[in-house]
Copies of this chain bind each other. A is one copy, B any other.
Amino acid sequence: MISPEEKLSVLRARVDEALKTAVPEDTPSPLGDAMRYALLSPGKRLRPVLLLSAHELIAPADDEALRFAVALEMIHAYSLVHDDLPAMDDDVLRRGRPTCHVVYGEGMAVLAGDGLLSLAFQTMLESSHERALRAALVIARYAGTGGMVGGQGLDLAHEGALPDRALVERIQTGKTAALLTAAAEAGLVLAGADEALVNAGRRFGHALGRAFQIVDDLLDIEGDQKLLGKTTGKDQAEGKLTWPAAVGLDQARRDAARWTDEAVDALGPFGSGGDALRDMARKMLKRLS
């Protein structure tokens, strides 16, 4: 019997392997190199692993599920490349390495992001049955203006504003929770889960996303730059709209725990099959201690 933790590492290894060949070899250079640099950057692969794990709650993850997992990581990677641009967050360090535009220039970084987003949809559209379509639409909705891009837009528009609680909630729901919700929901849709289970997965993804962003905000205040592989203390210096800024440090810590509980609770309908995802949620919170 393999442990929940082992299960997640097996899925992560599958994702890492598939990512290596995900950008077509005939992509013009250096555009293809910039896309690979962004996509293969060391990371937790949280979204693709979540998609596969959600799929495995119902049925073993097949090659199609893996293709969708890769597509979701492409969307995540593109959003980081564009978010790091000087006109946006102006970050030079990401996951311990120079950001894409530092290495390849700003123009190529814009195009690498565009290329990754286009390739994500192309990858999903290679499947043509009904579940795959529904899953692709789920991902399109959460990735776009009603989800991730919308949250980034709100964030950018309110830079330097007072950290209003409702506003920060909308931003974090879009910027972070949307893609995690998409991962859980799309994985279940692909696997053929019924509506009640898809709803449970959506609730899990949203709660995990909220917990994840609050933990991330807290780590930016309390974390170790070397351990995290990115610049810390930037949020406060730049007057970023974070959860701790909106509700205070202590309440933010309580909220991270509360959302983690909510995530674990949402997995009820899956019984012990949900252990790997429970483990994922609890580990996220443990990064704080």
Instruction: Tell me the chain A residues, 127-160 only, with Cβ under 8 Å from chain B.
Output: 128, 130, 133-134, 136-137, 140-141, 143-146, 149-150, 152-154, 156-157
Contact B125 A140 (CB under 8 A): yes
| A88 at interface by CB-CB < 8 Å | yes
A143 to B121, CA, bound (A): 11
Taking a contact as CB atoms closer than 8 A, the residue among B26, B28, B31, B107 that contacts A85 in the complex is B107
Looking at chain A, what size class is its interface with the partner chain?
Answer: 35 or more
State whether B149 touches A115 (Cβ < 8 A).
yes
For residue A261, give the distance in angstroms from its CB to the closest CB of chain B: 30
Complex Cα spacing A134 to B150, Å? 28
A108:B157 contact, CB within 8 angstroms: yes
Name the B residues within 8 Å of A24 (CB-CB): 145-146
Q: Which residue of chain B has the shortest Cβ distance to A78 in the bound complex?
A: B114
Closest to A143 in B: B118
**Distance in Å: Cβ of A171 to nearest Cβ of chain B:** 9
**A113 to B111, Cβ gap below 8 A?**
no
Chain B min CB distance to A2 (Å)? 36
A125: chain B residues at CB < 8 Å are: 133, 136-137, 140
Contact with A118, one of B105, B108, B117, B170 (Cβ below 8 angstroms): B117
| Interfacial residues of chain A within 162-182, with CB under 8 A of chain B in the complex | 170
Chain B CB within 8 A of A269 CB: no
Contact of A87 among B23, B105, B136, B144 (CB under 8 A): B105
Q: A31-B149, A140-B125, A145-B32 are in contact. Are A114 and B111 (CB under 8 A)?
A: no
Chosen A-B contacts, 12 in total, with CB atoms closer than 8 Å, are: A26-B146, A27-B153, A31-B150, A85-B110, A87-B101, A87-B109, A108-B153, A113-B114, A119-B145, A121-B121, A121-B136, A125-B133
Residues of A within 8 A of B (CB): 23-24, 26-32, 35, 78-79, 82, 85, 87-88, 101, 105-111, 113-115, 117-119, 121-122, 125-126, 128, 130, 133-134, 136-137, 140-141, 143-146, 149-150, 152-154, 156-157, 170
